[in-house]
Amino acid sequence: GENVEQHPSTLSVQEGDSAVIKCTYSDSASNYFPWYKQELGKGPQLIIDIRSNVGEKKDQRIAVTLNKTAKHFSLHITETQPEDSAVYFCAASPTYGNNRLAFGKGNQVVVIP
């Protein structure tokens, strides 16, 4: 099955700086790559996703890039704010079916005011 690796496990950034989280996946058939944000005591929430026919997608301060040849995708957060502090999960799926969605282990982002 799909194996998703996420790096680094913890990332500390100064408020206003950028944060980048990288994920690699193993199954070349994967074509759907969502990112979820989990705040303390809450369930994960989708923040952005990308499909394999697109190389980059932006939504305000958040962007995701995808390199299908290298089988990796990254989350970019610009102008970080304290409310960006959370655990971020990447995931990959070979279809739009969530029953085959494989999650990374998560990345703790800490924004230092």
Partner 1 sequence: NAGVTQTPKFRILKIGQSMTLQCTQDMNHNYMYWYRQDPGMGLKLIYYSVGAGITDKGEVPNGYNVSRSTTEDFPLRLELAAPSQTSVYFCASSYSIVTTQPHLHFGNGTRLTVT
User: Which residues make up the interface to partner 1 (CB under 8 A)?
Assistant: 1, 4, 6, 9, 32, 34, 36, 41-46, 49, 89, 95-99, 101, 103-106
Shortest separation between residue 50's beta carbon and partner 1, angstroms: 12
Shortest separation between residue 81's beta carbon and partner 1, angstroms: 23
- Taking the C-alpha atoms of residue 76 and residue 18, their distance in angstroms, rounded to an integer, is 7
Shortest separation between residue 67's beta carbon and partner 1, angstroms: 22
Q: Which residues does 99 contact at the CB level (< 8 Å), separation at least 6?
A: none
| DSSP 8-state class, residue 93 | B
